[in-house]
Amino acid sequence: MAAFWNKPVLLCLTLSAILSLCSVLSTAEFQQFEQDPKADGSLSFLVVGDWGRRGGFNQSEVAVQMGIIGEKLDIDFVISTGDNFYDGGLKGVDDPAFDESFTNIYTAPSLQKQWYNVLGNHDYRGDVMAQLSPILTKLDSRWLCLRSFILNAEIVEFFFVDTTPFVDKYFKDPKDDVYDWRGVLPRKQYLSNILKDLDLALKESSAKWKIVVGHHTIRSAGQHGNTNELVLQLLPILEENNVDLYINGHDHCLEHISSPHSRIQFLTSGGGSKAWRGDVDWRNPEEMKFFYDGQGFMSVQITQTRVDIAFYDVFGNVLHTWDTSKQLYAAA
């Protein structure tokens, strides 16, 4: 499949525009959207993952703190790293879980911004097409969920990747779980399209910063650990194309892993609700910058020359911060 790009669309998407986008989902792995930065060119956003439990397991408490930090940072949008609705995704577009786990939970004024969502493995256990449906956007205009897509915010470009179909065990040994693979089969061709289109998009990007978002881990010390299929297939593309951050969920923790052998920072924000699994396994303490086994979320602030990240717990306490800078080159 050749790489597909539609003309950039504004965030104030009409229902007809969303419907038009969905009509081409079967023929394009990536859609492209635009996000305006602030007047000074900066951007700020929150990241939360593995959250949809009707407010339970401290989901509501995390949401409150997200609202407080979101107002303080004047965030532009929110990213969800997937597993949006437990335990088995949505049953349909009329599933009350959409309101009970999303609309009625994230009620703070600062969170009434665009939400960019990817699918997690639990979402694939329900009606996947429901989460992708424009009907949900009509019910709550914040909601935008696609399999893989690109968000261009001028100084930074985000590449959202559908990681669940990469994982072999969901196909070969699903146990009692039933997955909705509509739009994914034949799998080999689907994955080939994602990798090819992502590689091309990264090569064509002129953004100062490049951030890739997926549900599954690449590097993690949590319960699920590294996702070997992504280490083998996705990571080489990210490294070759100078990606700055890989942001994921899946492990129900907050985490920052760095390596002297790679420029990529591996950031896990999967503490949106149920956490405290109690298992940590990382053999290189120099690479493990931060690990927290509880609930919380992450913030990111970006300018032309600097990225600042922070992790927060369920009380809004700052657990870990990190920053990096790039030199700003004047135009010739």
Of 224, 250, 252, 256, the catalytic one is 224
Q: Which token pair is 33?
A: 């959207």
Match 């969303």 to its residue by tokens. Answer: 18
Report CA torsion sign: 47, 222, 160, 327: positive
As beta bridge partners, residue 150 has: 32, 159
Q: Give the C-alpha separation, 298 to 313, whole Å.
A: 9
- Residue 252 appears among annotated catalytic residues: no
As beta bridge partners, residue 9 has: 33
Q: Which token pair is 58?
A: 């401290």
In sequence order, the 6+-apart residues with CB closer than 8 A to the CB of 23 are none
Q: Which residue numbers are catalytic?
A: 224
